[in-house]
Amino acid sequence: MPWVHLVEPDSITDPLHPETLQLASEIIWQTFHQPEGDHKNVEEILVIVESFPGVAHAGSNKIHISAKYVANVNSDGRIEMMGVLYHETTHVGQWSGEALSGLMEGVVDYVRRKAWWALTRWLDRGVGERWDQDAYSDDL
């Protein structure tokens, strides 16, 4: 289980609590039914809230969340932020990041759905035109 360190913990209160990310990590590995020895070794996850365009991204052991996005989250804010954290925490646990992007995004969104943090505006199953089309509606 990785140790979680928040670079700016006061930007969002509840979703960024270290225990939230530790629980997310546990749920991610339970979803894949992998023994602990098969997990990518991540000692620490850094969560950084900063200004940049977009929502969030993860690389290595860092999750970057857009301060502007957080400030403008709508009424589904808690669901959205928890979903973003589960999504990005899953990316941290992915091995090389060299798989097809549609496959990698599908896996992380599968985890988000299994953890019950999917948004109601996501498209229904089978609605896309291709197998690797994301589940997000255009009205974001």
Q: Are 80 and 73 in contact (CB under 8 A)?
A: yes
Domain boundaries, the chain: 3-114
How far does Cα 140 stand from its chain's mean position? 17
Catalogue the E-assigned strands of the chain. Answer: 3-6, 44-50, 56-59, 62-66
Instruction: Say what percent of the chain tops pLDDT 90.
Output: 8
Torsion of CA 120, 22, 47, 93, to 10 degrees: -80
Residue with tokens 């950084």: 48
Q: Which CATH superfamily is domain 3-114 in?
A: Neutral Protease Domain 2 (1.10.390.10)
- Could you report the per-residue pLDDT of 84-119, keeping only the tens digit for each? 888 898 888 887 778 888 888 888 888 888 888 776
Q: Encode pLDDT of 58-73 as tens digits.
A: 988 899 999 888 888 7
* Cβ burial 59-92 (10 Å sphere, 16+ → b, else e): eebebbbbbebbeeeeeeeebbbbbbbbbbbbbb
